[in-house]
Amino acid sequence: MSEYVVELKNATKVFPGVIALNHMQLAVKPGEILGLIGENGAGKSTLIKVLTGVYQADEGEIYVNGEKKEFKNPNDSAAAGIACVYQELNIEKLLSVTDNIFINKWIHKGLLLDYNAMHKKAKEVMLSLGQDVDPTKAAGTFGMGIQQMIEIAKAVLIDAKMIIMDEPTSSLGEKEVEQLMKTCRELKSRGIGIVFVSHKLEELFELCDRVTVIRDGEYIDTRPIDQWDNDSLIRAMVGRTVDNQFPKEFGEKGECFLKVEDLTVGGVLDHVSFEAYGGQILGFSGLVGAGRTETARAIFGADPVDGGKIFIKGKEVHIKSPKQAIDAGIALLTEDRKGSGLVLAESIRTNLILSSLSRHSTGWFLDDGKIEESGQGHINTLRIKTPSIYEIVGQLSGGNQQKVVIGKWLNADTEIYIFDEPTRGIDVGAKVEVYNVMNDLVKRGKCVIMISSEMPEILGMSDRVIVMRGGRVMAEVERGSKNFNQEDLMKAAWGGKLDE
Amino acid sequence: MNKKMGGNVQLGTVLALVLMCAFLAFANRNFYSPGNIMGILKQTAFNAFLATGMLLCLITAGIDLSVGANAIFCACLMGSLKEAGMTNGYVLMLAAVLAGALMGFINGTLLTRLHLPHPFVSTLGMKNVLWGAALVVTGNKMINRFPESVQFLGRQTIGTWGGGFPVSFLVIIILYVIMHIFLSRTALGRSIYCAGGNMEATRLSGINTANVLTFCYTMSGIMAALGGILSVGRSGICNGSMATQPYDTDAIAACIIGGASFTGGKGTMVGTMIGALIIAVLRNGFTLLSIDSSVQNIVLGLVIILAVFMDVVRASMEAKRRRLAAAKSL
């Protein structure tokens, strides 16, 4: 019997023109939580897909409980006891919790389905994961945290020996993350091995027994958690020391560019008021669901508003559509670049000019000269890695896609830039480049609003921070004030009062 | 890379067209007679008008099932106005274009302002409305003896070879060149593709997507009206009962064969032209080979299903290519 529940040895996977995995290895003990980290593009996704049978490795072996296995498809992997909770959940929102859990594993009573038994079992499984929910209700009526638990319940139900969690906390609020960690520990105590993929180091330190680092498709190192620290993990991931994660530069504080008064959206925003100045980055902190994105969308005219006033440079504006917002000098980089930021099937060229078509036209026609020039300029300054501006955006990596969205908004040349989670899901190098774009904007006197769920990013980049909770502004903290620290911002986000 | 792929797909359709022509030339010596070729071009023109509007709607991931009925309605409207004593052909044609545009505008408004879920439903309803309206305005009668100016588009030819080159097809060539430039080189043209590719991203980029969509359906209505005017010239009559003919499916087939997709964001004027030619050659071939019209319907139906199937295969091939490329950039 092997020491490991699942062991991947010497796996190599080659795609046309690229070696995605190069003699990769991964070993998970029963009843342990193994952290798996690497920059974007390190090969995590490919590694997961090889383990779940979505891809077949060109070389290498997989052992489950010491027995050599071959996964021709995801069913083989599932039959061997490997389950994966993907970042993008496979939940049928209109079907009940029970239907979601028992999909393809129905309990029958004669020819019919035995819903009584299934509801009962579903309730039990969810309870064992710490969730007391009504299994007859539609899955979509629950939050992301519970939807994720439904996925985990599926894994538990097939008696998974190992569960891979692919960035499970990226879409969860603080409280849901805590519940998830509790559940992970519970699964661990049942002897299940967990592979926990995360971009958040604190989570790894809190949860994991060991951490494996991979880079550029290669295995780098695995150590027990107490033999890692922040610096050594980052060094292992990037192969170099990141001296300054946040290259903060300061602009000159200008006039009040944006003043929001009592912005209200029924059930979502409750009299949100704040001011944002030129030459500054205003950070928006808070838990997921605090109403930050909704505030941005309401200001931008993307969603209807029920009340409140908006002033731009002292003049009241009535913005009813994104077009009016852009004309008034506001840009919004949305948090979901694939869903609402890019036209994936179109070229970089088209995406870059989408918010500034008239500026790139001469008379009735688009001006190829202008488009080429500005497009090439963005590729150079933003360092978009691509052979040409005619490449299809859907084929770029996440970081490069995000740079295209940023380029689109730089083209709009507005006064106020709202960046909603601008560095989500992109690698460290691309993050720094995004920060530099923001630096550049404030130095040019523009007003930047940055919504971020990463506390270090908020503290590293903001000149001032607004903390929201439950659709309301909880606190406003100036950089350099005594409250400008992680603990106090967190306290405000949880509803605590800050002493002035 | 994508450009090359698109080129290849069109190469395949061109090849299909060439093979069909070669086969028909072999099977029936009349196929390459000048008269027959000009006849095919005349037949193509009507469908090519409808397909132009249909393509715009398909690119936005929509559809306009009312184009055929709209064309016939516009023709019948001209007929009823003529019967009511309007003899100026230009006024009749203006009325037809305005009516067609209005119907298209209503289709667009139902979709964008009243938020009906999918244009499939609203334009299908509109098709029936227009069919009935065409019969009502003509009182269920065929109307003939239209003014010369109305018949010009559908009847006039240039030169004498094979009975002359049809003006209608010349107009189509000019229209397709203009529309090609419009779709590829203007801001509104690109907006149509982007709206079809990702409606929300396009809206949040400051493009009024509701207006873009309404424009496409209005254009579709105008194209249908032009098709209606053409049909009057070609047949010399208008007939409300023609509204149930499968003109809409012919237009959809031309677009899909030419590379458009029901999922939106794709399609070109060049491809649509080839698609329209394929449909016309197919129908012409059936007639030359004296194949029964009911069998024609069966084969054409199968061709449409095949075209949609090709669209699906194309999409999955593209998805695979994108997957590989994405894996590469990991």
Q: Of A203, A238, A273, which marks where a domain is finished?
A: A238
To which H or E segment does residue A282 belong?
strand A281-286
Structure tokens that stand for A26 in this block: 């991964």
**How many domains are contained in chain B?**
1
Q: How many CA atoms lie within 13 A of B223 on its CB side?
A: 30
Mark yes or no for CB contact B204/A332 under 8 Å.
yes
B76 neighbors B138 (Cβ within 8 angstroms):
yes
Measure the CA–CA gap between B121 and A335, rounded to whole angstroms.
Answer: 33
Q: What is the pLDDT of residue B9?
A: 55
Torsional sign, CA B152, B153, B158, B164: negative
Measure CB to CB from residue A365 to each of B185, B266, B326 and give the nearest one.
B185
Q: Of A205, A238, A271, which marks where a domain is finished?
A: A238
Q: What is the pLDDT of residue B316?
A: 84
Cα–Cα–Cα angle for A54, A58, A62, rounded to 5 degrees: 65
Residue-number span of the structural domain to which B155 is assigned = 39-245
Task: Say if residue A210 is in the same domain as residue A275.
Answer: no
Residues of B in contact with A400 (CB under 8 A): 329
pLDDT above 70: residue A373: yes
A104 touches chain B (CB under 8 A): no
Q: Which parts of chain B register pLDDT below 50?
A: 1-8, 330
As a whole number of Å, the end-to-end CA separation of chain B is 19
pLDDT in tens, A194-253: 999 987 778 899 999 999 999 888 999 999 999 998 778 877 876 654 445 688 899 999
Give how far B126 is from chain A: nearest CA, Å.
Answer: 30
Pairing relation of β-strands A67-69 and B165-166?
Answer: unpaired
Structure-derived torsion over alpha carbons of residues A465, A469, A471, A477, reported in degrees to the nearest 10:
-20
Give how far A390 is from chain B: nearest CA, Å.
Answer: 9
User: Rounded mean pLDDT of A26-44?
Assistant: 87
Mark yes or no for CB contact A340/B198 under 8 Å.
yes
Mark yes or no for CB contact A347/B2 under 8 Å.
yes
In a domain, A263, yes or no: yes
Residue A313 to residues A259, A332, A446, B233: CA-CA distances in angstroms?
8, 18, 12, 61
Task: Say if residue A283 is in the same domain as residue A218.
Answer: no
In a domain, A249, yes or no: no
Give how far B329 is from chain A: nearest CA, Å.
Answer: 5
Q: What is the pLDDT of residue A242?
A: 44
Structure tokens that stand for A138 in this block: 């539609």
Give how far B226 is from chain A: nearest CA, Å.
Answer: 24
Give how far A165 is from chain B: nearest CA, Å.
Answer: 19
Task: Say if residue A234 is in the same domain as residue A260.
Answer: no
Mark yes or no for CB contact A326/B266 under 8 Å.
no
Let me know how long chain A is: 500
Q: What is the pLDDT of residue A202?
A: 83
B60 neighbors B216 (Cβ within 8 angstroms):
yes
Let me know how long chain B is: 330
B327 touches chain A (CB under 8 A): yes
User: Residues 6..45 of B with a Cβ closer than 8 Å to A: which?
Assistant: none
Mark yes or no for CB contact B198/A364 under 8 Å.
no
Task: Say if residue A89 is in the same domain as residue A184.
Answer: yes
Task: Say if residue A274 is in the same domain as residue A152.
Answer: no
Give how far B239 is from chain A: nearest CA, Å.
Answer: 40
Residues of A in contact with B311 (CB under 8 A): none
The per-residue pLDDT of chain A, averaged, comes to 90
Alpha helices in A340-483 (DSSP H): 348-353, 368-381, 398-412, 428-443, 455-461
Give how far A310 is from chain B: nearest CA, Å.
Answer: 18
Residue carrying structure tokens 């559509």:
A321
Residue-number span of the structural domain to which A140 is assigned = 6-238
Q: What is the pLDDT of residue B3?
A: 43
Residues of B in contact with A395 (CB under 8 A): 322, 325-326, 329
In a domain, B301, yes or no: no
**Nearest CA to A366 among B190, B207, B206?**
B190
User: Rounded mean pLDDT of A340-345?
Assistant: 92
Measure the CA–CA gap between A236 and A238, rounded to whole angstroms.
Answer: 6
Instruction: Classify residue A86 as left (phi > 0), alpha (psi -120 to 50) or beta.
Output: beta
To which H or E segment does residue B111 belong?
helix B89-112
Kindly identify which residue of chain B lies nearest to residue A301, measuring between CA atoms. Answer: B204
In a domain, B328, yes or no: no
Mark yes or no for CB contact A302/B187 under 8 Å.
no
Mark yes or no for CB contact A15/B328 under 8 Å.
yes
Residues of B in contact with A54 (CB under 8 A): none
Residues of B in contact with A18 (CB under 8 A): 327-330
Mark yes or no for CB contact B3/A390 under 8 Å.
yes
Give how far A153 is from chain B: nearest CA, Å.
Answer: 29
The DSSP annotation for A386-397 comes to: -S-TTSBGGGS-
CA A499 to chain centre: 32
**Nearest CA to A425 among A446, A447, A400?**
A400
B228 neighbors B100 (Cβ within 8 angstroms):
yes
B324 touches chain A (CB under 8 A): yes
Measure the CA–CA gap between A473 and A112, rounded to whole angstroms.
Answer: 53
Measure the CA–CA gap between A135 and A140, rounded to whole angstroms.
Answer: 12
B328 touches chain A (CB under 8 A): yes
Give how far A400 is from chain B: nearest CA, Å.
Answer: 10
Torsional sign, CA B203, B206, B209, B210: positive
Percentage of chain A modeled with pLDDT above 70: 96
To which H or E segment does residue B217 belong?
helix B209-235
Give how far B234 is from chain A: nearest CA, Å.
Answer: 35
A477 neighbors A488 (Cβ within 8 angstroms):
yes
Which of A18-27, A442-451, B57-66, B125-134 comes out lowest in average pLDDT?
Answer: A18-27
In a domain, B148, yes or no: yes
Question: Which residue of B5, B209, B329 to mutate against A (max A Cβ within 10 Å)?
Answer: B329
Kindly identify which residue of chain B lies nearest to residue A338, measuring between CA atoms. Answer: B201
- CATH number for the domain spanning A68: value is 3.40.50.300
User: Rounded mean pLDDT of A36-40?
Assistant: 78
**What number of other Cβ atoms are within 10 A of residue A380's Cβ?**
9
pLDDT in tens, B38-73: 999 999 999 999 999 999 999 999 999 999 999 999
A212 neighbors A222 (Cβ within 8 angstroms):
yes
Looking at residue B259, its amino acid is G
User: Residues 143..202 of B with a Cβ closer than 8 Å to A: which?
Assistant: 181, 185-187, 190-191, 193-194, 197-198, 200-202
ipTM for this prediction: 0.83
User: Rounded mean pLDDT of A258-285?
Assistant: 94
B1 touches chain A (CB under 8 A): yes
Torsional sign, CA A423, A428, A433, A437: positive
In a domain, B70, yes or no: yes
Judged on CB neighbours under 10 Å (0-12, 13-18, 19+), A127 is: exposed
To which H or E segment does residue A191 belong?
none
B293 touches chain A (CB under 8 A): no
Residues of A in contact with B328 (CB under 8 A): 15-18
CB pairs under 8 A between A and B: 112
CA A489 to chain centre: 21
Task: Say if residue A407 is in the same domain as residue A478.
Answer: yes
A338 neighbors B200 (Cβ within 8 angstroms):
no
Measure the CA–CA gap between A415 and B272, rounded to whole angstroms.
Answer: 43
Global pTM? 0.76
**Nearest CA to A275 among A261, A289, A291, A292?**
A261
**How many domains are contained in chain A?**
2
Measure the CA–CA gap between B210 and B146, rounded to whole angstroms.
Answer: 38
Give how far B21 is from chain A: nearest CA, Å.
Answer: 34
Measure the CA–CA gap between A211 and A36, rounded to whole angstroms.
Answer: 6
Kindly identify which residue of chain A lies nearest to residue B196, measuring between CA atoms. Answer: A343
In a domain, A98, yes or no: yes
A361 neighbors A368 (Cβ within 8 angstroms):
no
User: Residues 252..281 of B with a Cβ closer than 8 Å to A: which?
Assistant: 265-266
As a whole number of Å, the end-to-end CA separation of chain A is 61
What are A164's strand-pairing partners? A84, A195
In a domain, A247, yes or no: no
Task: Say if residue A348 is in the same domain as residue A441.
Answer: yes
Q: What is the pLDDT of residue A103?
A: 86
User: Rounded mean pLDDT of A8-22?
Assistant: 85
Residues of A in contact with B268 (CB under 8 A): none
Residue A387 pLDDT class (50, 70, 90 cuts)? confident
User: Residues 385..404 of A with a Cβ closer than 8 Å to B: which?
Assistant: 390-392, 394-397, 400
Residues of A in contact with B325 (CB under 8 A): 394-395
Q: How many CA atoms lie within 13 A of A7 on its CB side?
A: 13
Task: Say if residue A269 is in the same domain as residue A217.
Answer: no
Phi then psi dihedrals of residue A438, to 5 deg = -65, -40
What are A222's strand-pairing partners? A212
Mark yes or no for CB contact A323/B327 under 8 Å.
no
B314 touches chain A (CB under 8 A): no
Mark yes or no for CB contact A408/B205 under 8 Å.
yes
Q: Of A187, A207, A238, which marks where a domain is finished?
A: A238
